[in-house]
Structure 1
Amino acid sequence: REHSEKYDGVIIPLSIATSFPTGTYGFVRALCSKHDHKYAIDPRTPLFQRDWDRKNVRPPHEKMAEIMGGPFKGKGLTSKLEPSDFSKKSTLNQITKNCLDFQMDFKARKEDVRKINKYKEMLGIKKLDNLDNPQFLIPPYFLFETPSDEWYKININCIQQAIEMNLDVPIQPILHFKNWPNSTNWQEILKSLTESNISSCWLYADNYKEHEQDLPSLKRYREAVKDTDSKGMKPFVLFGGYYAILMRYFGLLGFANGIGYGE
């Protein structure tokens, strides 16, 4: 509440939006009413690519899988997903639709009066405005290494399907890099995004520890941000550090860490 002027909105992980829907809705609606902030929902789909103990699957993961459908609901709860699980175009179309439908429908949740009042009191407001659409929509996305990676192709297909849905909200994809920026052909990726009529994107480097990188790696990071900006595309960074924040001097438009990051 006391720091509301320092940020423009919140990015909500799908796991939180599905596990605590009423509380999340109440918080977001109150926040947007008080400060005219915006919100978006991060599908966090790379979770299902990873190895983790699926013997005792947590309810948030089950609810995420239920929303996404397809291989998430079946295989994704028993073992990690592979590119072959998305070989059918109909599968990609359906999971993208499920993902974006949830984001678009979030504003229409029924209120829990008790929880709504809690957040009204927390933010010091008496009246709540209706919750609007998300500021932007995030299609399903996956961790990839290079543009020749099958996971990258799946990412692009999900982005294209999201565009084809013709929703009245901008599509702002997350690009989740495995070896950012060392082994990524960023020019090729930029070309694919511009050809898909994407005007803004999130750069999400997996486990990129800025303070441990050498100078050439940091320079490649800076050049990628500058190249993105020079092509007329608005770059944002997700889950970065102090170096990422400094990229605002080279064209970075925004920065986010998500709710609960660093706990």
Structure 2
Amino acid sequence: MKPLGPLMLLRPQGGHKRLLRAADGFYHGLHVPVTVVDHVANFVLETDKPFIADPTTYFFVLRPERLCDADKKAVRPWLLRLAKGFGAPFEVALGRRALVPADFPEKGNATDDAVRRVLTHQKAKFLGQMNLPLEPYYAKYALYGDSAPASSSPPPAGPAFLVPPYFPFRNVEDPWYDLDLRLAERALSVREKGERIAPVIHLDAVALEDEAVVDRIVADYRARAFDACLLWVNDLPEDAAPAEHLRGLVRLVRGLSSGGRQVFKLYGGYFSMLLFAQGLTGFTCGLGQGAWKNAYAFGPGGGAPKPKFYVPALHRSMELANAERLLREHGSLRCPCKACRDVYGSNIDRFAAMGEDGHCESHFLYARQAEAKALLDRGVDSCLTALTTTAGKFGDNALVKVAALRTWREVLAPT
């Protein structure tokens, strides 16, 4: 069953629990790493929503020194726990060297055992509850109104899909590409009855420039009986990506989704929402940020990210200080949502308070809900026309920066 609109799976932080409990109808599910602390894992189950438990195996291809605590110079404890749960070859390599494709031999049982442990770890992390499917579940969630509907208490949620081990690849000639496909195939063989497999296709953005590469990926993944595909284009901010990368993404989504297979984009934004018309089932994102991710930019860690303000008319998030300056100079870009009305209303001098008490995150949910409603009510052509109108209104204004809106329109509605 095709959903009525694009599904949005949030990537929550521990501090978001209170907000998300009150915003049940504003999002469709969750995208969480298997490394989440227990209280977040428990919260995921409490939401009674489908979720994707990301095994984050890509960490293990980073150099050992990148995985160490900057102060203690030792491998971070959560990575040690993850490696122990996965077993060989992850546990053997961690702290000593980066994984290489040869760590997953084609002969023997070692690779099957590794894949099985990665799948099992996803289930074990979330109490073994499984397979609340995505398709029929979301019909009950309204995308309308200024407040969230009451939950109707569906059955307990578990991972909607199991994700095989995956690693980033540059192109289809990269040995990691062949390995990713082979590991995903092995997951189909070792899964238990009723388990659904969704491999992550973690590609470099440059690969999207070559139609032959895109078509090869489509052909390879369509030839296997995967239940869904999860796309992660590494380091692709949609509001700064060149048109050729976005065109390649559209081609990839169209190809993978043909025939009705579910396709989700990991780390997406408004452009991903518009890709629903091209066959994308849904996308994952943070609350006002996290619309793109670079697997290689693995920092020192520690502390929650600072809130950002999502500007609905521009469909992008900004640092609070920059957003305040923008809204002071261009009042037409101010947001009328309940969160903004309650915090600063018509008095922009109170805008700084948006950075407190989850106001930016709450505003983001209202804004994203309004975007979804506009897409459902008026269709993608109307949304693209709105992009053109906004871009024309502000022209080459260096503060507003509407180049991305023109690019999105060019890619999705070429003349």
Q: TM-score, normalised by structure 1?
A: 0.81
Residues 104-155 of structure 1 deviation map (CA, whole Å, 9 limit, x = unaligned): 233437xxxxxxxxxxxxxxx9xx9874542111111110122222111111
Cα offsets for 1:25-44 (capped at 9, x unmatched): 42122111xxxx11221001
Equivalent residue, structure 1, for 2:242: 214
Matches within 5 A, 1:86-97: 86-89=104-107, 90-97=109-116
Tell me if the contact between 1:107 and 1:131 (Cα under 8 Å) persists in the aligned partners: no
**Structure 2 partner of 1:182:** 209
The CA deviation at 1:60 is: 0.8
User: Structure 1 stretches of 5 or more lacking a match?
Assistant: 110-124
Aligned to 1:140, the other structure's residue is in SS state: coil
Contact 1:49 1:81 in 2 (8 A): yes
Gaps of 5+ in 2: 1-20, 129-149, 291-304, 306-415
CA-CA distance at 1:261 after TM superposition? 6.4
Q: What SS is found at the alignment partner of 1:172?
A: coil
Within-5 A mapping of 1:101-140: 101-108=120-127, 131-140=156-165
**1:133 to 1:75, Cα distance in 2 relative to 1, 3 A:** same
Is the alpha carbon distance of 1:105 and 1:261 closer, same or farther for their aligned partners in structure 2, counting shifts above 3 Å? farther
Distance 1:209 1:261, change over 3 A: closer
The alpha carbon displacement at 1:97 in A equals 0.5
Deviation at 1:256, TM superposition (A): 0.8
Q: Distance in 1 between matches of 2:286 and 2:216?
A: 28
The 1:260–1:66 alpha-carbon spacing in structure 2 relative to 1, beyond 3 Å, is farther
Structure 1 CA distance for aligned equivalents of residues 155 and 242 of structure 2:
48
What's 1:60 paired with?
78
Distance verdict in 2 for CA 1:80–1:95, change over 3 Å: same
Aligned to 1:194: 222
Displacement of 1:178 = 1.7
Higher mean alpha-carbon deviation, 130-139 vs 143-152, is at: 130-139
The CA distance in 1 between the partners of 2:45 and 2:154, in whole Å, is: 7
**Preserved contact between residue 214 and residue 248 of structure 2 (Cα < 8 Å):** no
CA contact (8 A) 1:13 1:43 kept: yes
Tell me, yes or no, if the aligned pair for 2:116 and 2:191 is still in contact at 8 Å: no
Does the 8 Å contact 1:67/1:102 carry over to 2? yes
For 1:80, the equivalent position in structure 2 comes to: 98
Is 2:118 the partner of 1:99?
A: yes
Q: Are the aligned partners of 1:13 and 1:259 in contact in 2 as well (CA < 8 Å)?
A: no
For 2:264, what is the secondary structure of its paired residue?
strand
CA distance in structure 1 between the partners assigned to 2:259 and 2:154 by the alignment: 37
Looking at both structures, which has the greater relative contact order when contacts are Cα pairs under 8 Å and sequence separation is at least 6?
1
Residue 148 of structure 1 corresponds to which residue in structure 2?
173
SS, match of residue 224 in structure 1:
helix
CA displacement at 1:53 relative to structure 2:
4.6
Question: Identity of counterpart residues, as a percentage?
Answer: 26
**Counterpart position of 1:49:** 61
Structure 1 Cα separation of the partners of residues 22 and 80 of structure 2: 35
Contact 1:135 1:170 in 2 (8 A): yes
1:204 corresponds, among 232, 235, 245, to 232
Aligned residue in 2 for 1:251 = 279
Deviations 1:203-245 (A, max 9, x none): 1011112233222222222222122222432211001232222
Secondary structure of the corresponding residue to residue 64 of structure 1? helix
Is contact 1:190–1:228 with CA below 8 Å preserved after alignment?
A: yes
Q: Distance in 1 between matches of 2:116 and 2:26?
A: 33
What CA distance in whole angstroms lies between the structure 1 residues aligned with 2:289 and 2:190? 31
Q: Choose which of 157, 162, 177 in structure 1 pairs with 2:182.
A: 157
1:121 corresponding residue in structure 2: none
- Say which is worse superposed, 55-64 or 174-183, in terms of deviation: 174-183
Partner Cα separation in structure 2 for residue 241 and residue 101 of structure 1? 31
- Determine the structure 2 residue equivalent to 1:30: 46
Q: Deviations over 1:149-205 (max 9, x none)?
A: 211111111111111124212111111012342247122222222222114201101
| CA gap 1:258/1:155 in 2 versus in 1, 3 angstroms | farther
Q: Between Structure 1 and Structure 2, how many residues are aligned?
A: 243
TM-score by length of 2: 0.53
Tell me, yes or no, if structure 1 residue 8 matches structure 2 residue 8.
Answer: no
Looking at structure 1, the residues matched to 255 and 154 of structure 2 have their Cα atoms a distance apart, in angstroms, of: 39
- Which has the greater radius of gyration? 2
Residues 186/232 of structure 1: CA separation in 2 closer, same or farther (3 Å cut)? farther
